[in-house]
A = this chain, B = another copy of it.
Amino acid sequence: MEIALLKKELAKKNKELEELKIYESEYKVKITTGYLSAFIDLMHQFPELRIPTNDGTRLMSASTDTVWAKMICKYFQHGDKALNIETIRSRFTSDKEKPNTKYRPIRDKDKIFKIVSNED
């Protein structure tokens, strides 16, 4: 009986793993060393983008900031180094006016790129 239960549990876990692995990538996108903040600055701009032809509706909306940190750590690396989730999380805040103490804002010198409307 215990064997049957264990086998069932194992099959369930294997199925869960299989589903998650669809999205696993052997290779990450490599961000050029020294430009991680410039990249994160682009991520900060994403939820601010407004569609010019659509009454200023946002292009996208995230109900939580954590999703950006998770995405960055999963699919990007800084030079040859993997990214640490806590470090990346500290670069995001849900409220830039009242950030928590761990928040590390992007310095102006790292704001290298900006996303603009093609109409401009």
Contacts and interface: CB of A to CB of B under 8 A. Distances in A.
Contacts of A118: 111-114
Contacts of A22: 70, 85
A42 B13 CA distance: 36
A67 B117 contact: no
A68 B75 CA distance: 8
Q: Is chain A's interface secondary structure helix, strand, loop, or mixed overall? A: mixed
A39 B25 contact: no
Interface residues of A, number: 58
Q: State the oligomeric state as a number of copies.
A: 2
Contact of A62 (B27, B54, B60, B64): B27
Contact of A75 (B2, B63, B70): B70
A106 B7 CA distance: 47
Contact of A113 (B2, B32, B67, B116): B116
Contacts of A68: 29
A76 B62 CA distance: 9
7 contacts: A6-B7, A17-B17, A23-B71, A25-B70, A29-B62, A32-B54, A114-B115
